[in-house]
Structure 1
């Protein structure tokens, strides 16, 4: 069943899940910040993540973000007083525990405001110490995991390392 975890004010999205098949592994994708996609309306990035999950034989596509503030503009993220929201750490931990395969995919972190970049390094460490397989769709020149919109469906999953 498709589901969403969103804070009451609508400004923070913690988790968005799409059911893809009756059985198979659960793939969790982690971006930098959530778009305005929800259970009723997707966006190009969500459709791409669902497409990868389907091609890899997954049952569910779960999406979380390093920052929970919902926006389509990275400059708005930098201006936000609280880009995390009150439950982001707890919900990220829940996603990590629930998923079978963790897929960081935030793209080049240099797009983020400088004050927020250390959070990406912290979260990378959290993923890598989870005991779960951590895979990516390739890495950027700066060593960050590629964003799904920048990769073709024939892109293989690779081990992710910082």
Structure 2
């Protein structure tokens, strides 16, 4: 679904390996919403990918004017196996940016799918420090990724529980 924006931006590292934030605005009079996904693909300030298009469409349907996208891992790749081969790189600025987003109080939708490491989920949820929502829950308890979901979904609470690490 093609969209028209009044503002479009991306915070990408100089070496182009990491994308920390991607934002699309179509109406400044409406509130903002944030999505936290697994890792960024090739989308940038000028180009949307399928996931960006889906997140924008959800945000529009829910009455938002800006969507910003963040990730558990800031490493840019379209292949989950490459993310794993690289050691699931978070990116040097990612946690600070996630802290900033959480501090704004913006509504957060988590949508990273099945491939996140439990330790990283715990780290990010500690950074966020408040309840979040999702588009649905996978069998393993992870929040569903938006790319192949229908547009008529509404956010629901994500029942995150920190793992108890036995020592």
Instruction: Answer yes or no: same fold by TM over 0.5.
Output: yes
Query: Which segment drifts farther, 62-71 or 149-158?
Result: 149-158
The size of the alignment, in residue pairs, is 154
Structure 1 contact 28–96 (Cα < 8 Å) conserved: no
In structure 2, the residue matched to 1:117 is 118
Instruction: Give the SS at the match of 1:2.
Output: strand
Structure 1 contact 26–99 (Cα < 8 Å) conserved: no
Structure 1, unaligned runs of 5 or more: none
Structure 2 contact 59–65 (Cα < 8 Å) conserved: yes
In structure 2, the residue matched to 1:140 is 138
Residues 82, 136 of structure 1: alpha-carbon distance in 2 compared, 3 angstrom cutoff: closer
Q: TM-score, normalised to structure 2's length?
A: 0.85
CA positional deviation for 1:151: 1.6
Residues 97, 2 of structure 1: alpha-carbon distance in 2 compared, 3 angstrom cutoff: farther
CA positional deviation for 1:124: 2.9
Distance 1:91 1:25 in 2: 19
Structure 2, unaligned runs of 5 or more: 1-6, 161-167
Distance 1:62 1:94 in 2: 12
In structure 2, the residue matched to 1:101 is 107
The counterpart of 2:51, out of the listed 35, 45, 49, is 45
Distance 1:153 1:145 in 2: 16
More helix as a share of residues: 1
5 Å matches for 1:64-75? Answer: 64-75=70-81
1:20 and 2:22 are equivalent in the alignment: no
In structure 1, the residue matched to 2:98 is 92
Q: TM-score, normalised to structure 1's length?
A: 0.88
Query: Which segment drifts farther, 148-157 or 56-65?
Result: 148-157
Distance 2:104 2:25 in 1: 14
Tell me the alpha carbon deviations over residues 119-148 of structure 1, each in whole angstroms, 9 at most, x when there is no partner: 023223433x23xx5211011111111111
Structure showing greater Rg: 2
5 Å matches for 1:72-87? Answer: 72-81=78-87, 83-87=89-93
Structure 1 contact 20–53 (Cα < 8 Å) conserved: no
Distance 1:124 1:141 in 2: 20
